[in-house]
Chains A and B, each alone.
Chain A
């Protein structure tokens, strides 16, 4: 047997590991990738813009008058609710994209490159967060166009955005887990709809709790994390109690992340 000699040309020194700066750069490059995708996939832009607008219009004009007496009276209820619901649906993008990358082999390519191990996921989550912020902006803008009024100040609005982004960032780990678990990307969406639809309708996102609501249902609705998120958002946009709702919402988010981060790592190791 011949002696094994390194084939690397002597002139090129190989790095033993990745520097933190490279990790940041890799993550930003992959964030760019997640965003530039939109340019070639107009459907995604539609998803991010038209669908929220359509939801605002439908809910406000169809449900507004019977639910609150008028469109104007319903807007303070429904706009924060739609923003929160849309944010939850948008978390599924992360799992969907991750699943596409894995099934198409893109993930393998990234993992064979000398880049930070965390950057493919971190880049994707960061890109999805930017998309999230865009959707929220579109929703709020659309709401204001048809008569929604912010009763607080710019800082409170910013805080509302940050709260929603923090919550979705934590909850997106559930989406990552689903993305790693199912065989086809379409199943991520099916899963997402099945969980998020009842979750958002069993909250105070679209209605106020009425005395007629059965006790058990009121209990479920009051303790639904979405309710806490929606109430905190309402408080930040319209005034009212915020701290307790926000704290409970974030606590839920942390609990979900604490459950789904280890599950995701376990599933990742099993899958690849």
Chain B
């Protein structure tokens, strides 16, 4: 568990909200929610959410740090933007959901085996290797994320799709061996590393209340 993760949160106090505002992308919008619920009702994946967006916003205000950050709800967002379009207060809900997910991941609070989180990780690692996504490896890693047996089954289930992608040249068998990439891979990796450092430094620490107060 990260050091960032020791914050003492009191119920219905603003410390968690402040943390979200500081560390979560578009987090400063959370306080603007008026609990109408149109986001929750508009989400096409809504029924899979343990806590829909508007409830998550309320939980943030109520100081439910652990529950929010360990929730798998925000991992459900598919970026359809229905909620943003309909939100009467113009909250960038999609971005906030991704922001919360990223923040939870950073703190190591993401639920184990959360498939979307896993996929995101695989996607990221895949892309970081060469600076481009290797569709073949991405697909395979995804299939085999839960082990060899399920991987084979999953691969067979999707074989038609795979064939089509091959035909459309969206995927090539040769990619298995290395695959294509950007010109200056190490340059890219350096750049990302630096960005990560900057982001980590920017991130407010919420384990020392005094520190959070000056911010």
Say whether A and B bind each other.
no
Residue positions of B touching A, CB distance < 8 A: none
